[in-house]
A and B are shown apart, each in its own frame.
Chain A
Amino acid sequence: MTVETEIEIMGQHLNERIKKIFGRSLHIREVDAGSCNGCEVEVNALSNPIYDIERFGLHIVASPRHADMLLVTGPVTRNMELALLKTYNATPEPKLVAAMGSCACNGGIFGNTYASGGGVDKFLPVDVYIPGCPPRPQAVIFGLMVALDKFDQKIKRMEVKA
């Protein structure tokens, strides 16, 4: 199967979920919390004409204020910790956090040291982990679908509480 057909099929599934949960589109803010830039290459690839994720209702936004989800890369360095927390607090509820890449999942090769925080979940509640170094664009799309299912549950829980 070519990449194009793969994406076409995955994209349709994604689109259905987004429509069901959000009505129109899912807005993502990417936060680099100390990644090597490998994950950024792949997040940027999602917007190229092959993957073109906007057509499925995924929109990468410029501000956390506009975001439904934070896509966090990197092991969370000591020097990025504060900026990450500020970004999280600036994102309106209900929100999702996806940890993208091995470093974001558990610190990866950088581990837990004086400078590296050892993964996003040490600092924020993480809804979905997308492993890989870096994950292929297909894996990122798959991870986002898993996150959407979780979001559905999250909203339902909030409704029950209310």
Chain B
Amino acid sequence: MSSFAEQLASWQARLDKSLAKHPERKKQFTTISGLPVERLYLPAEPDQAYADNLGLPGEFPYTRGVQPTMYRGRLWTMRQYAGFATAAESNRRYRYLLEQGQTGLSVAFDLPTQIGYDADHQLAQGEVGKVGVSISSLKDMETLFAGIPLAKVSTSMTINAPAGILLAMYIAVAEGQGVKADALRGTIQNDILKEYSSRGTYIFPPKPSMRIITNIFAYCAAEVPQWNTISISGYHIREAGSTAVQEVAFTLANGMAYVQAAINAGLKVDDFGPRLSFFFNAHSDFLEEVAKYRAARRLWARIMRERFGALDPKSLMVRFHTQTAGCSLTAQQPKNNIVRVAFQAMSAVLGGTQSLHTNSMDEALALPTQEAVTIALRSQQIIGYETGVTDTVDPLAGAYYIEQLTDEIERLADDYIARIDQMGGAVEAVEQGFIQREIQEAAYEYQKAVESGRRVVVGVNQFLTQEPPPKDILRVDPKVRLEQVEALKKLRAGRDNRAVQAGLAALKAAAQGTDNLMPHFLACVKAYATLGEICDTLRGVFGEYHAPTTI
């Protein structure tokens, strides 16, 4: 008891110092009726169990959040995932979102880009610009960020197998704006293991993929120190059908595999650990989701400290982005999705997210229209500025149900991690198809529950109405591909092709050896080698991954 009192006093003293420099959003927080709101509420008599399992916000085990003041200091980053068609068109959407008060960018790339094919590749037919923006070279990247000051915005890029190459392009664009790499803030997803199990945009086999990832960790620790080098993602695991427990377990197991790979490559855990970030799903079971984020924070902090010996508090923290659950959106009565998304977003906020994407109501039908995206962003602003839940830290702490659910999710996720350990880790568990099978069984169980009516989905299996299909949906013009093909032809004719060949040859030699690949990516993209040319060079050395079919 007295030890907790001391801990609290020292927490308060450090906080007072930092508040003197960085004050909270308001001098005083009150409810809408004028009642005072404290920063932190605690049990009347905090015992040892409280200190061990919940503790103080911004301190181990981070159950109550990663910052001492949470949203009283600053709201989360409102970051809508966007990108479609050409770089020029996506650039216009980004500028619109920034004008509307969005605080960070999040780039969606099309599938050819994500799988390392240029827009003129045979396999890119029908896919160019469809689920994101088409980027085949630095030229496209320059257009994508034209007029957007990269020293000021933070940019998240959903890119995995070719993440290092797209990051190199981003660094090169910044250089063109006169911005040094050490000033850049943002995230690359760079999480290949969940691509094998859940999302599908892999290129190379696991071993060389893990090497590229550790190359990025090492390069960024030295050159791009504010960059989040990976976003270890449960989002897609959940979308593929997992339960909340599986989402936590498989995400953290993947995280452990990256940490181990980096340690094996000779890196020190506290050199790269602070730049690891996470990405979770916000699904529909409101209180389970709140407990899930809290459990993930506590479990990761314990794993990093106990298993990997991390000491830097930033290595122990789960800093995470959240996106509301795309798979929960219904094509039926699509306006109901606005309500679903608002509840899901609220669960992420009550769970302490650092950034948030809210889905648009029409995403079960097509890419979102501008109107739908704006409503989704406004939903976050309403939660942030109107509801009052941001005025005190971890407001649901101490609720019997929340705390028991937090304990239960942590315990069950830990059991899964022990099973994955026995298989030899997450890479082996994926190669054996274990994770894929667990996810697809959970997905099928869920589907059966919906079809039998045991689980109600409003507008789908109850409360049905006849309605005409919505008319205003966003479509990507097929001529986008033709434009990109033309642009590539011009690029290849106009660049210094000797420099391109020299860059690719050096990259090939480095890939065959043990050099860090990042400087080679940078040299290649600056010579305007295309994404496809760079990836083909690597395919030649590393080969391609062929997935086991698990049904």
Tell whether A and B belong to one assembly.
Answer: no
| Interface, chain A (partner B; CB < 8 A) | none
